[in-house]
Amino acid sequence: MKFNESIFDNEQTRKEFLITTSSLLISLSALSLLHCSEETPKQPSKNLNWISYTPQKRPTKNVAYSPSRILLKNGIIIDGSGKPPYTGDVMINGTTIEIITPQKIQFTGTTIDCTDKIIAPGFIDAHSHLDWVLPLDGHPELKNPFMEQGITTTVTGNCGYGVAGFKPKSTYLTMIKNVGKGFFSGDSSTQNDNFVKQVAVSLTSMRKYFDYCRNHGIPMNMVNLAGHGTTRMSLRGYESKPLSKDEMKTMLYLLEQAMDEGAYGVSFGLQYEPGIFATNDEIAEICKLVKNKNKIVTCHMKAYSALSATYPLKPFGTPHNIIAINEMLDIAKQTDVRLQLSHLIFVGSKTWKNCPDALAIIDKAIDSGMDVMFDTYAYHCGTSVINVFFPSSFLAKTPQIYEDKVALLKLRAQLELIVALLGFGYNDIQIINANNPELAKYNGKFLKDIAKERGMSQYENFIDFAKKSNGRARVLNHRYSSFQNILDLMKHRASLFMTDATPYSQGAQNPAAFGNYPRFFEIARDYQLLSPQELIRKMTGAIADRFMLKKRGYLKEGYMADITIVDWKNVKDNNTLTETNKRPSGIDYVFINGKKVVDKGKATGVLDAGMVV
């Protein structure tokens, strides 16, 4: 493309062009991507020696019949602590684990034979956005996929987007509700649900939200965070100016109240509005509050690739994703808060090489005594919203800027440059949920194909989707990250596992909503990356420790009966590049608080087994 000099009004707009162009490069970093065909090496054969043991004679133990008891017998027990596996039996009684023993239990009641299968604590999703989904009436298609991959507990309210903790009677509650409806609560099939239509956001306090969930019933256990972004939004919407002293005082009060009422900490979304407008002083003040409450901060950082608009453009300077990590570590060091770096990814091929440097920085911080970890997933594809491709200067002027022809011309030039520099284009962006009735028929299709079908240019089609969805069209992006990055992240001592997935009733799906945890098993087993006990700890006990969950994450007598039984030889993610909503193989049984929610690989229909943790 040839750039006409008239695009730039003056030297200032030249500078803005350079800055916003770099922003687009890194704005892509909000996406977790899977493009297995190019970057994943040929998968090795199944490693059937991953678990080996010699059968031993086991003494017997008699347990009396009770209808509340369920025996899981002769399984490979991996308890979430990282200790080596052993053969044993587990007895569930009601909602709790009554007995764990290497002995052979003699019992005449309900029994499941777990021979050559792993009995593990129920998996915990360390980063999700299901706080808008769990309280929905019914909708098993949105909830079952998580249970069918073995998840029993999920950490919600991430990336600065919370479902409660707002200023009462705020004039911005409708704005927050529209964001939640479009971003997290499924699609058109859920818009008339009682929670979405009548209840959500009106429950401004965390206590009211939790009471609703308890009374309504939820399918999985929920660990919820207060969202800095939505709490800030309840004070002043998307206004980009720094908070006043009174506004800051009010926000700290609301976040403190949310934590006092049960939130486990505060999440930041520093690449999304309004979190993108927060100053480091604002972030630090909130971190001090969280520290005083002995809670945790989770952070979607300002940058996840080598260049971004968040920082000044210096082509040969420190990569922006490294600056973002250092910036959050500096704040954590200053405030002594427990810091969880959300979905650590390395977006764009020129960023992949920064992974070892980033992990070395995190290691140095840990060795110095800082309490920092990160979470990761097993894919290198994933979802975000279409406006993540826009610079903050553009976002600050929406929706009016969609009518500014000069601004759109500049943006077009920037996007064309992105394609040239990153090799990432419209053919890599797949619409999951258009969030607009007129455009819903294109759900599941790629932008490149949609543009041809509509007789529009690629750019005009892209802008039309952004404008008509208010920037909230959900997209699945392909051709990002590297498989080696994923291996390095999985095996790192500070990594925890998560999905970061939002499910939908129609259109394309994020494969992590269906097969993420089975894929972790496949990678660890067949690439000989982690031992079974190391793998399972990262998805159970280590996450429970991180968020200070009581009686979860371990197989221990007296703990809640959250249990996942895995056929370790046959566990498999069945998703492909074109079919991303496939039920996995090998997750045979799942119990949540003693209720069987998955039986022989399929959900049982129980949607009220969970608890607000």
Distance CA 473, CA 442 (A): 11
pLDDT at 9: 40
Q: What pLDDT, in 10s, does the model give residues 308-335?
A: 767 776 667 898 899 999 999 999 999 9
With tokens 């409450």, the residue in question is 293
Range scoring the smallest mean pLDDT among 47-51, 433-437, 506-510: 506-510
Which band of pLDDT confidence, cut at 50, 70 and 90, is reported for residue 526? very high
With tokens 């590049």, the residue in question is 577
pLDDT at 585: 98
pLDDT at 332: 98
Mean pLDDT, range 73-101, rounded to an integer:
98
Would the pLDDT of 4 be above 80?
Answer: no
Distance CA 586, CA 65 (A): 29
**Is 144 part of any domain?**
yes
**Is 232 part of any domain?**
yes
pLDDT at 377: 93
Q: What pLDDT, in 10s, does the model give residues 277-289?
A: 999 999 999 999 9
Range scoring the smallest mean pLDDT among 62-66, 331-335, 439-443: 439-443
DSSP string, 234-299: HHHTT--SPPPHHHHHHHHHHHHHHHHTT--EEEEETTSTTGGG--HHHHHHHHHHHHHTT-EEEE
Tokens (6 digits) for 249: 């005082």
pLDDT at 104: 97
Other Cβ atoms closer than 10 A to 168: 10
What's the DSSP call for residue 588?
A: E
Q: What pLDDT, in 10s, does the model give residues 129-149?
A: 999 999 999 999 999 999 999
Other Cβ atoms closer than 10 A to 52: 7
Tokens (6 digits) for 240: 């980009």
Q: Nearest CA to 145 among 608, 595, 576, 573?
A: 573
**Is 94 part of any domain?**
no
Parent domain of 169: 123-382+479-549
What's the DSSP call for residue 499?
A: -
More confident residue, 387 or 531: 531
For β-strands 69-77 and 86-93, DSSP reports them as antiparallel
User: Percentage of residues in the chain with pLDDT exceeding 70?
Assistant: 89
Would the pLDDT of 31 be above 70?
Answer: no
Would the pLDDT of 546 be above 50?
Answer: yes
Would the pLDDT of 186 be above 90?
Answer: no
Mean pLDDT, range 383-401, rounded to an integer:
79
pLDDT at 472: 81
Question: How many residues appear in the chain?
Answer: 613
pLDDT at 28: 39
Distance CA 296, CA 278 (A): 19
What are the φ/ψ torsions at residue 588 (nearest 5 degrees)? -80, -45
Tokens (6 digits) for 164: 């409660």
Distance of CA 466 to the CA centre of its chain: 23
Residue 122 near residue 573, CB atoms below 8 Å: no
How would you class 26 by CB atoms within 10 Å of its CB: exposed for 0-12, middle for 13-18, buried for 19 or more? buried
CATH of the domain at 239: 3.20.20.140
More confident residue, 203 or 248: 248
Mean pLDDT of the chain: 89
Other Cβ atoms closer than 10 A to 376: 27
**Is 173 part of any domain?**
yes
Distance CA 555, CA 553 (A): 7
Would the pLDDT of 338 be above 60?
Answer: yes
Would the pLDDT of 449 be above 90?
Answer: yes
DSSP SS3 for 342? coil
pLDDT at 10: 43
Which band of pLDDT confidence, cut at 50, 70 and 90, is reported for residue 354? very high
- In the chain, the number of structural domains is 1
How would you class 196 by CB atoms within 10 Å of its CB: exposed for 0-12, middle for 13-18, buried for 19 or more? buried
Would the pLDDT of 238 be above 80?
Answer: yes
Distance CA 64, CA 185 (A): 46
Inter-CA distances, 367 with 333, 362, 364, 370, 372, Å: 13, 9, 5, 7, 10
DSSP SS3 for 64? coil
Distance CA 1, CA 62 (A): 79
Interior angle at CA 116, CA 115 and CA 117, nearest 5: 90
**Is 415 part of any domain?**
no
**Is 427 part of any domain?**
no
Distance CA 37, CA 436 (A): 31
More confident residue, 507 or 295: 295
More confident residue, 374 or 313: 374
**Is 537 part of any domain?**
yes
Which band of pLDDT confidence, cut at 50, 70 and 90, is reported for residue 412? confident
pLDDT at 395: 75
pLDDT at 422: 54
Q: What pLDDT, in 10s, does the model give residues 453-492?
A: 999 999 999 999 999 988 888 888 776 678 999 999 999 9
User: Percentage of residues in the chain with pLDDT exceeding 90?
Assistant: 69
Distance CA 444, CA 87 (A): 45
Distance CA 217, CA 210 (A): 10
pLDDT at 243: 96
Q: Which residues pair with 221 in a beta bridge?
A: 153
Residue 469 near residue 1, CB atoms below 8 Å: no
**Is 442 part of any domain?**
no
Residue 118 near residue 486, CB atoms below 8 Å: no
pLDDT at 420: 63
* Percent of the chain as helix, strand, coil, to the nearest 5: 40, 20, 45
Mean pLDDT, range 582-588, rounded to an integer:
97
DSSP string, 30-45: G--B--HHHHSPPPPP
Mean pLDDT, range 418-435, rounded to an integer:
73
Range scoring the smallest mean pLDDT among 46-55, 112-121, 213-222, 546-555: 46-55
* Start-end of H helices in 305-352: 320-335, 349-352
Mean pLDDT, range 511-534, rounded to an integer:
97
